[in-house]
Amino acid sequence: MQPIVSVVVPVRDNAEGIRSLLACLEHQTVGRDRFEVLIGDDGSRVPPEGAGGAVRVFSGPPLTSYAGRNRAAAEARADLLAFCDSDCLPDPHWLEEGLAVLEVADIVGGEVLFTPPPRPTVWSLLTMDMFLDQGRSIRLSQGVTANLLVRRAHFERLGGFDESLPSGGDYDFVTRSVEAGARLVFAPAAVVRHPTLDHGRHFLRKVWSTNRWAAARRAREGRLPSIAGAFAFVPLVGVVLARRQALRPASRLHRARLEASGVTADWRQDVRALPVLYLVVAYTAGFAQLRGWVLGRRMVREPAVEP
C-alpha cells in the first residue's frame, strides 16, 4: 500500500537511538502500513541496518545532518514528510495529530518535550528553558526538525535544507518557507520527547554551535548582527535582550517549559541557574557569535570556504 507519510530521520553513530525510535514508531496510532521510515545516514562508522521496504537506509559521506535529511527525503514515496531526530521518542499519537493539522497547513511544528533525569542538574534546567521550544519558534516563524511535518511538494520547491549549515538549517528552511507564503502551524498534541543535556561540556557545545551558526547565517545573508548579539559582552544587557527576543522571561526560568517536562519550577531553580546563564552561557554565546560573524563574512568573500 502506498504510504501517506514518510518519516525522515538523520543519524550519525547513534544506532541505539535509531532502535529506540523505531520501537516507538511501532506503536503509532497511524497504521504501520501507512508510513515508511527513511534513515539518512551521515557518515556513521557502522551504518544502521534497514528492515525491508518499511525502513530504508540511505548512506553518504559525513557532511551535516541536513545533508542526511535531504538524502533520505529524496527517496520518499509519500506526499507528506515527517522529520524527527535519532535521539527523540515520538508519543503514540505523534503522526496522527501532526497529520491532522497538516491538512490545513504547509508546515507543522509539533511539540518537543524533555525527559530530564530524576535529579536535574543546572544544565538540565537550562536545556529545558532554552532549547527546542517549538511553540515559541512557530510564533517567530521558525521551527526545529526534531518534530516537523511538511508537504513534500513544498519541501522540493524550496530545494530542501541548506546542507552547508551544521546548525540552524531547520530555522533557515522554515523562515524561507514563511517568506515564500507557506502556512506554518503549531501542533501541541503531536509530541516527541528529547533527552536533556545534563553536563556542562555538552550543553556549552550546543550553545556554541547554535550561536556561531546563527551569526554566520546573518552575516552570509548580508544582515546586521542581532541587537542581542551586538550587546553580548555587556553584563546583563545581552542576555536580557536575547531572552526578550526569544519570548522568555529575563528574571527567571521559563516555568511552563520546565513543568511541561515534569520539573517543578520555583525560585530555587532560578537561584541555581540564573548566575550560570548570565555569566558562563552569556559569554560562551557572545564569543560564538563573534566567531560566527567572522566565518559568515568569509563565506561571502570565499564561497568555497570550509565551515
- DSSP state, 166? S
Which residue has 508546515 as its cell numbers? 107
Which residue has 503509532 as its cell numbers? 28
- The answer to whether the beta carbons of residues 294 and 305 sit under 8 Å apart is no
Would you tell me how many other CB atoms lie within 10 Å of the CB of residue 244? 13
Q: Which helix (H) or strand (E) holds 219?
A: helix 200-220
Residue 29 three-state SS: coil
Residue 46 three-state SS: coil
- The answer to whether the beta carbons of residues 185 and 149 sit under 8 Å apart is no
Tell me the pairing of strands 55-60 and 80-84: unpaired
Would you tell me how many other CB atoms lie within 10 Å of the CB of residue 267? 9
pLDDT for the residue 246: 81
Across the chain, which distance is largest between two alpha carbons, in Å? 59
Which residue has 522529520 as its cell numbers? 83
- DSSP state, 26? T
Q: What residue segments make up the domains of the chain, in order of their start?
A: 5-195, 200-301
Angle between helix 200-220 and 169-179 (nearest 10):
40
Return the bridge partners of 109, or none. 148, 186
Nearest-CA neighbor of 175 among 194, 189, 190, 162?
162
Return the bridge partners of 73, or none. none
Angle between helix 65-73 and 169-179 (nearest 10):
60
pLDDT for the residue 236: 75
Helix, strand, coil percentages (3-state) for the chain, rounded to 5, are 45, 20, 35
pLDDT for the residue 48: 79
Q: Encode the chain (307 residues) as per-residue pLDDT tens digits.
A: 789 999 999 999 998 999 999 999 999 999 999 999 999 999 898 877 765 567 899 999 999 999 999 999 999 999 999 999 999 999 999 999 999 999 999 999 999 999 999 999 999 999 999 999 999 999 999 999 999 999 999 999 999 999 989 989 999 999 999 999 999 999 999 999 999 999 999 999 999 999 999 999 888 888 777 766 666 666 677 788 888 888 888 889 999 999 999 998 888 899 999 999 999 998 999 899 999 988 888 877 776 556 6
Nearest-CA neighbor of 109 among 72, 76, 82, 85?
82
Which residue has 525522515 as its cell numbers? 8
The CATH code for residues 5-195 is: 3.90.550.10
Phi/psi at 46 (5° precision) = -125, 100
> Cell numbers at residue 217, please?
547565517
* pTM (2 d.p.): 0.90
